[in-house]
Amino acid sequence: MSEKEIALRYGMNPHQKDAKIYSADGQALPLTVVNGDPGFINLLDALNAYQLVRELRQATGLPAAASFKHVSPAGAAVYAPIPPELAKAYFVDGMELSELATAYARARGADRMSSFGDAAALSDIVDASTAQLLKREVSDLVVAPGYTPEALDILKQKKGGKYLILQIDPNYAPEPVETRTLFGMKMQQERNGAVPDASVFDKVVTANKELTDNAKRDMLVALVTLKYTQSNSICYTLDGQTIGIGAGQQSRIHCTRLAGDKADRWYLRQHPAALNMKFREGVSRAEQNNAIDLWLEDEVTPVEQAAWELCFEEVPARLTREQKREWLNGLQGVSYGSDAFLPFRDNLDRASRSGVKYVIQAGSSMRDEEVVQAANDYNMVMVYSGVRLFHH
């Protein structure tokens, strides 16, 4: 293995051989395999995820983390203190976490179902606190600009010593033009080097123009996350983290519904009935996550119910639709970002049910007037960023 080329286990699937990553210009790669044996999808996740956290760090000045699965983020976050109820929902109550570890706990906790077996990306040098958190989670790899010796010792014990640890040069600057081979043909474009900053808030188009600092932070988290999410994409954010991401849908309203449903589940997991569930001894955190998720379903089959009940010492009562709605009424101050313009007001009608107060989108739809009116109907603050963030 040379500095200019890294052989991979295989391509996207095991039958796709002769896989590698290499430097086209003959220069040394900015990426080092510290431990483990990478595959093609590992690197797709790692390189997209690291760009996301690096740009979150640039945009907000805060330590950032992302939890990636299949070339889209399951969650992303910057540092913000975690309140006790949320810490319990994230399975980190009682743990002393560094700022970087807190960012990863938030990113991982955004959608614990989807984060299972993730690619973790960190914006800063990984410390022992972050390494301990990673060690206890089901994760396939970590990528970061560096690791303390203690953190490396901890991480090298994971997965029987086979945990993939990647280190990337934080000062690496790729060429401004990128190429891709598709069906034997070369495609070329200027890479998307735009990093959202305070200028995206210049054009507020609603009657309500009161943007808080926290809302601006959350909108930046949404935009940077969307930049590295397969399009079409929608992102709901709160308290410095994503709480619902809808990726890769052909219809924007389906993205909004998917992300909104995830945001609702994120908040319902903090319901006292969820936090006080008593699981049988030996039920893993992943199994607990699955059980809580099934608990949130309105309808289950008798077979599902019987298998679900085996997880508990005391089987919890299911919440009614009315109880869920009452609890969800407490979800407020959410920011909502779109990777392109909103073509219809139905997106905001659905978003309003998940506590959305702040909206950032590209603007320039044929129905902008109708969409602005929808935002005004819900007393939302809506900003036109003027930037489309498609990612494929």
Q: What single string gives the DSSP state of each residue in 306-319? A: HHHHTTEEEPPPPP
pLDDT at 194: 87
In this prediction, what percent of the chain has a pLDDT beyond 90?
96
Give the model's confidence band at 307: pLDDT under 50 very low, under 70 low, under 90 confident, else very high: very high
Q: Which two tokens stand for residue 159?
A: 């997965």
Return the domain boundaries, the chain.
5-168, 194-268+328-384, 279-317
Residue 120 has pLDDT above 90, yes or no: yes
One-letter amino acid of 346: D
Residue 1: per-residue pLDDT = 42
Is 324 catalytic? The answer is no
Rounded to an integer, the average pLDDT of 82-104 is 96
Fold topology of 194-268+328-384:
Cytidine Deaminase; domain 2 (3.40.140)
Q: How confident is the model at residue 26 (pLDDT cuts 50, 70, 90)?
A: confident
pTM of the model: 0.96
Q: Residue 132: is its pLDDT beyond 60?
A: yes
Tell me what pLDDT residue 27 has: 85
Instruction: For residues 260-288, give the mean pLDDT.
Output: 96
Residue tagged active-site, from 35, 42, 48, 69: 69
Q: What is the 3 state secondary structure string of 379-390?
A: CCEEEECCCCCC
List 15, 171, 186, 392, catalytic entry: 392
Average pLDDT, the chain: 96
Site of tokens 């040098």: 125
Dist CA 80 CA 342 (whole Å): 29
pLDDT at 93: 95
Does residue 392 have an active-site annotation?
yes
When the candidates are 3.40.190.10, 2.70.70.10, 3.40.140.20, 3.20.20.70, the CATH number that belongs to 5-168 is 3.40.140.20
User: Which is the catalytic residue, given 35, 48, 232, 347?
Assistant: 232
Model confidence over 331-367: pLDDT tens digits? 999 999 999 999 999 999 999 999 999 999 999 988 9
Residue type, 367: R
CA distance 147 to 131: 9
Task: Note the pLDDT of residue 24.
Answer: 80
Tokens of 321: 């639709």
Give catalytic status of residue 391 as yes or no. Answer: no
- Kindly give, in sequence order, each residue whose CB lies less than 8 Å from that of residue 305, ignoring residues fewer than 6 positions away: none
pLDDT for 25 equals 80
Q: Walk across the sheet containing 356-361 and list its strands.
A: 31-35, 164-168, 139-144, 118-122, 64-69, 72-78, 241-247, 233-238, 334-338, 356-361, 381-384
5-168 shares its CATH topology with 194-268+328-384: yes
Q: Please give the residue that has the higher pLDDT: either 90 or 26.
A: 90
Would you call 48 a catalytic residue per the annotation?
no
Q: How many CB atoms lie within 10 A of CB 156?
A: 18
Q: Which of 4, 70, 88, 159 is catalytic?
A: 70
Given pLDDT bands bounded at 50, 70 and 90, which one contains residue 239?
A: very high
pLDDT over 70 for what percent of the chain?
99
Helix axis angle, 40-60 relative to 213-227, nearest 10°? 150
